[in-house]
Structure 1
Amino acid sequence: MTWGRELVEPLLLRTEPAALLPARRSQEAARIERPLDLIACVRLDDSRADLWYAIVRDARGVSYGVPCIVSGKALRRAIPGDGAAEALLGLLGRGSQGTPGEGSRDGHVGVIRWHAEPCAGERGFDVDQTNELVVVGERAVVKWLLHPTAEEQPAPRRLAALAEASFAGTPRPWGLVSIEDGRADVLIATVIDYVADAQDGWEWAVEDVRSLALGETDEANALRSMPVIGRLVAGMHLAFAAAGRSIATDDEAEDWLVEAAADLRDASLAAPTAGLVEQELALVTGFVGTTIIDIHGDLHIGQVLRTSPGDDLSIIDFDGSPTRSPEQRLARQPAARDVAGMLASLDHVGRVVLHRTEGLDDEQRGRVHDWIAAAQRGFLDAYLSRLAEAGEESLLDARLVRPFQLQQECREFIYAARYLPHWRYVPEGALAALLKSQSESPSSHQQVEDHESMNHDEGAP
């Protein structure tokens, strides 16, 4: 691999910022400030002089990862069909042939590899997401990280733990690719198996609930995947716990409160609402001593693929929340963080259906609200049952579920403000319902506590 700074840098000077980001990131591209600084670059394929990967930093200090093509006297982001993802798989194939998960280097490129095979043909995913996905040869999915960093990333450790535990609930990992920026290796892309005929949860779950609302299916069918997801998530947590666990310290609990307070501030909620949320978030400092493990860190229904036909489910994307720092994403956390994220997203599925389905009457809308409660209950029951089977009920501290769910809604407001303004209706509805549920009906938090109390009554740890 060659650096090529002398070629790429002049081209970057003549490149419009919008040309460096995926087309759906036009709003973020508008925030990029010149001048653009070239941090690192490598040629993705030594046989092609026009195909590069560059890390670019703007005047605000924000870094962007750009698989790019030389276009005239400037650069543009590579699109599916340009061959950038195919070239990345070529780099992966040149990686270590030894033990799966071992690292190797090829010049300025570093590779951690579990699997590789030749693939050709590229197509993109037309979905809202932080990073960019490209399917290669209908066999592999390359995820280009939009904001690469030299900090250690969570995905390698998470994937290694799942592989060690023979966890079958995630697509097989192929590998991770990084480049050297002059000081350290920077993770630029991850590669996993492509799951054919699969949809992510923002597609299949929304369609299930829409069909329920319209009377095209019954509630049992619309809820069929929830127990499976509960057991999958519990299995994932058991695998992470087998790789290591610890007990939360005073400093760690204080860090949770500081993060939650920052999220509440940045969510810019109305004062009365912010006050109610603040009271509940303050509870997290009281949970010193709870068990902490590696977690998914960005768990929501969109991270769950479902095949059709077959209804096989799998969890994807172990990079952690894109809004957290690498240090935060690497830190062990309570399993309740993931549980809260999934509960929040099940509510969000209902909000999406209510917002995007025209002409629903009161009865149809009622079916959606009933599905939200039943889906959360089905997920929780199956999750807790799987932990109980393993004698690991203590992995979930029920008291943290509700505060973390409130914090997740704050993060949804932040995400909407920064990346997807039209998403704001989702946390608005979800947060209002969550706050209302505290006084009017048993919350998801109470469901978990009731289950945990029953286990304690039976002598469970």
Structure 2
Amino acid sequence: MDTPRWRLSATATLIPGRPIEPGLSETLLRTLLDPPDPFVVRSMRPLPPIPAGERVIPADQTNHSVIVGETVVVKWFARPSDDSPAPELFAHLAEVGFRAIAEPYAAVFCGDELLALVTAYLPEARDGWEWCVDEAVSGGTAFAGELGRMAAELHVALATPSSVLPDPVRVAEASWAGRAFEALGEALRVTEDAEDSAWLAAHEGDLRRELAPLAVAGETPVVRVHGDLHVGQVLRWRDGLAIVDFDGNPTVSGALPYQPVARDLAQLTTSLEHVAQVAVKRRGADPQAMAAWSWMTREALETAYVTKLAEAGQSELLDRSLLRPFEIEQECRELLYAAHHLPRWRYAPMGVLRTWF
């Protein structure tokens, strides 16, 4: 079977799974107002004036991101998808006025498949695996409150009605245990390192007890969460912090679109623990100092998050009984990510689990 090709002009063709042709992103921007068949464009905001020139962002390994005119980013999806939550969430957040994102301009589809997102370029941006590790090594904690407030503002925005999501908050009476216990079981199976495998087996009972509250069905508010909210998705750029990559969790298939906000918060707090592990492993930081740092930043983040929800009159969004079990599930998922995608990453979730138990 021939590889599918989508042509934007006589000389610019997108071939899924192949490197993006030079000039393709500029061609896309020129055709946004009048896209040729079979393309469909969902516009969110008018494009600003864009100078010529483009360059690839080499750090984006999952997809292909191209900066055009030092003004916008065209994010090409390596595997076009018909179920990406990003366009809907971007359109909703733009409408309700949430600003801590890269301003969204357009989503480009071929039929029902999302091919590309066009957003603002954030100058001098560094992701959290850089700037947050620097904070850990230097002992900086002031950012944690800002990060907690921003996460709460995101969830308040996601709970605000719009024409895109007119009924954004639902009440679910559900058990969240099935996915979590499945992740634990698979983590036990796929962790091949003898020492780590033995440690997990010895602590399986502890981990199952921590996950047990998820088996108690109860009414919990759910919204369209970010789904993959860790510090690597938080850019520090010239004008502050911004949350990126609303594409969902690439390691979870079939996840319900509406989830408790505690899931996002658990991912964010555990990622601070991972930052501490990175600082020890790669920067030679003192383990005890990093344990203290992660505790202080977690406390500051959670306090700021809860306070901001209360100020917005949305305290009921957070079911705190789910937070610790979701954190345990997240560490299991980190082990799965390491086993299937990045074996050297295993030290981070194993380091966190050993710290906790």
TM-score, normalised via structure 1 length: 0.69
> CA, structure 1 residues 275+134, in 2 after alignment: closer, same or farther (shift >3 Å)?
farther
Q: Does 1:398 pair with 2:324? A: no
The code of the aligned residue for 1:307 comes to W
> CA, structure 1 residues 170+128, in 2 after alignment: closer, same or farther (shift >3 Å)?
closer
Q: Name 1:299's counterpart in structure 2.
A: 229
Q: After superposition, what is the alpha-carbon deviation per residue over 1:339-360, rounded to whole angstroms, capped at 9, x for unaligned?
A: 00000101111110100024x5
Aligned equivalent of 2:20, options 78, 81, 102: 78
Q: Name 1:143's counterpart in structure 2.
A: 75
- 1:107 is paired with a residue whose SS is coil
Give how far 1:433 is off: 1.8
> CA, structure 1 residues 262+41, in 2 after alignment: closer, same or farther (shift >3 Å)?
farther
> CA, structure 1 residues 128+193, in 2 after alignment: closer, same or farther (shift >3 Å)?
closer
Q: Is the 8 A contact 2:42 2:106 kept in 1?
A: yes
Q: Name 2:122's counterpart in structure 1.
A: 195
Q: After superposition, what is the alpha-carbon deviation per residue over 1:90-142, rounded to whole angstroms, capped at 9, x for unaligned?
A: 343435xxxxxxxxxx3111111123244532223333653332222211122
Give how far 1:394 is off: 1.0
The code of the aligned residue for 1:121 comes to G
1:268-307, aligned counterparts within 5 Å?
Answer: 268=188, 270=197, 271-307=201-237
Q: Name 1:53's counterpart in structure 2.
A: 14
- 1:248 is paired with a residue whose SS is strand
Q: Name 2:264's counterpart in structure 1.
A: 338
The code of the aligned residue for 2:57 comes to F
Q: Is the 8 A contact 2:72 2:119 kept in 1?
A: yes
The code of the aligned residue for 1:52 comes to T
Considering only aligned residues, what root-mean-square deviation do their CA atoms show, in Å?
2.0
Alpha-carbon distance in structure 2 between the residues aligned to 1:155 and 1:134: 18
Q: How many residues align structurally?
A: 339
Give how far 1:389 is off: 0.5
Alpha-carbon distance in structure 2 between the residues aligned to 1:414 and 1:395: 29
Q: Does 1:319 pair with 2:261? A: no
Q: Name 1:175's counterpart in structure 2.
A: 106
Which portions of structure 1, spanning 4 or more consecutive aligned residues, are displaced by more than 4 angstroms? none
1:58-457, aligned counterparts within 5 Å?
Answer: 65-66=16-17, 68=18, 77-78=19-20, 82-94=22-34, 106-114=36-44, 115-117=46-48, 118-127=50-59, 129-150=61-82, 152-180=83-111, 185-210=112-137, 212=138, 219=139, 222-243=140-161, 244-250=168-174, 253=175, 256-268=176-188, 270=197, 271-308=201-238, 312-325=240-253, 327-328=254-255, 331-358=257-284, 360=285, 364-434=286-356, 436=357
> CA, structure 1 residues 365+249, in 2 after alignment: closer, same or farther (shift >3 Å)?
closer
> CA, structure 1 residues 278+318, in 2 after alignment: closer, same or farther (shift >3 Å)?
same
Alpha-carbon distance in structure 2 between the residues aligned to 1:140 and 1:131: 16
Q: After superposition, what is the alpha-carbon deviation per residue over 1:325-352, rounded to whole angstroms, capped at 9, x for unaligned?
A: 3x52x52000000000000101111110
> CA, structure 1 residues 88+287, in 2 after alignment: closer, same or farther (shift >3 Å)?
farther
Larger Rg: 1
Alpha-carbon distance in structure 2 between the residues aligned to 1:418 and 1:92: 37
TM-score, normalised via structure 2 length: 0.88
The structure, 1 or 2, with the larger RCO (C-alpha pairs under 8 Å, 6+ apart) is 2
- 2:276 is paired with a residue whose SS is helix
Runs of 5+ unmatched residues, structure 1: 10-37, 55-64, 69-76, 96-105, 213-218, 437-461
Give how far 1:287 is off: 4.2
Alpha-carbon distance in structure 2 between the residues aligned to 1:240 and 1:406: 25
Percent identity over the alignment is 37
Q: Name 1:101's counterpart in structure 2.
A: none
Alpha-carbon distance in structure 2 between the residues aligned to 1:206 and 1:279: 31
Q: Is the 8 A contact 2:64 2:76 kept in 1?
A: yes
> CA, structure 1 residues 133+335, in 2 after alignment: closer, same or farther (shift >3 Å)?
same
